[in-house]
Copies of this chain bind each other. A is one copy, B any other.
């Protein structure tokens, strides 16, 4: 039985999320419904895109992902159903899908056309549920919409590179639960430009010359534990989504502080990487091997 996931800016206090689940179970009693996040900041398209992009790949192929962010139908905000990477996405044409499609070409896009009339102020409950259940039952996209080939473009979140390729200028696109700040610089992109050169990463007046592959790489375990002072130290990692992230070791907004609070970093702030002229040995750790199948 298929999985339907939910990503929204509804929060979890109101009745909306419960009501959507009830409506889905009315149509498909045996479906699995999984919450990805309901704490997207209201109407925040890049945040919604970052979250769904990093979550969907872990789900089985064929999963259906409802994204209820800025989804009220209006003349400039059509409803889409998109097949991409063997997953299905249902959302408004507000830029979220452009961000996903910029990495992987979609297999099919339809504009949903089963609203005989505009329904109400809460479209997720009716149209998105109908479409999701139709797909989860194995129905095709053509039945619920007409194929289109262009969707609303998004202000590209790709970082800027200078002409002689000595500098990447990126920006902060997400701040996570630990206050770590995530940039739009992906590991593959970074390494393509780097070509093994040394580098310095700058964010405000913070400088870093190493990118770790996990947080505790910042710790020197040869020093006895009671002599170390690593808690609260800044560091840079490629996070589990492959993004360059500025973090603080064992951060906590209420005690130690976080990368965001301690370094004064906020959404949209600039993070730049300057490469030395001559290629040297990379400080970036080798890509890690895949865990061998274990069953």
A interface residues, tally (CB under 8 Å): 95
Query: A117 → chain B, closest Cβ, in Å?
Result: 5
Q: State which of B7, B14, B237, B295 has its C-beta within 8 Å of the C-beta of A177.
A: B14
Provided the pairs A15-B36, A292-B116 are in contact, do residues A22 and B121 lie with their beta carbons within 8 angstroms? no
CB neighbours of A288 from chain B (8 A): 117-120
**A58–B20 Cα gap in the complex (Å)?**
7
Query: A2 → chain B, closest Cβ, in Å?
Result: 10
Q: State which of B41, B43, B125 has its C-beta within 8 Å of the C-beta of A58.
A: B125
**A50–B144 Cα gap in the complex (Å)?**
34
Interface SS majority for chain A: loop
Among the 9-residue stretches A157-165, A195-203, A215-223, A275-283, the one with 4 or more Cβ atoms under 8 Å from chain B is A215-223
CB neighbours of A21 from chain B (8 A): 34, 58
CB pair A74–B125 under 8 Å, yes or no, is no
Closest-by-CB residue of B relative to A253 is B42
CB pair B15–A55 under 8 Å, yes or no, is yes
Provided the pairs A251-B42, A294-B134 are in contact, do residues A36 and B55 lie with their beta carbons within 8 angstroms? no
Residue A239, interface by CB 8 Å: yes
Residue A54, interface by CB 8 Å: yes
Residue A130, interface by CB 8 Å: yes
Residue A12, interface by CB 8 Å: yes
Q: State which of B76, B121, B177 has its C-beta within 8 Å of the C-beta of A239.
A: B121
Closest-by-CB residue of B relative to A219 is B74
Closest-by-CB residue of B relative to A286 is B117
Closest-by-CB residue of B relative to A129 is B58
Residue A204, interface by CB 8 Å: no
Query: A38 → chain B, closest Cβ, in Å?
Result: 7
CB pair B42–A121 under 8 Å, yes or no, is no
Provided the pairs A216-B77, A251-B42, A254-B41 are in contact, do residues A60 and B29 lie with their beta carbons within 8 angstroms? yes
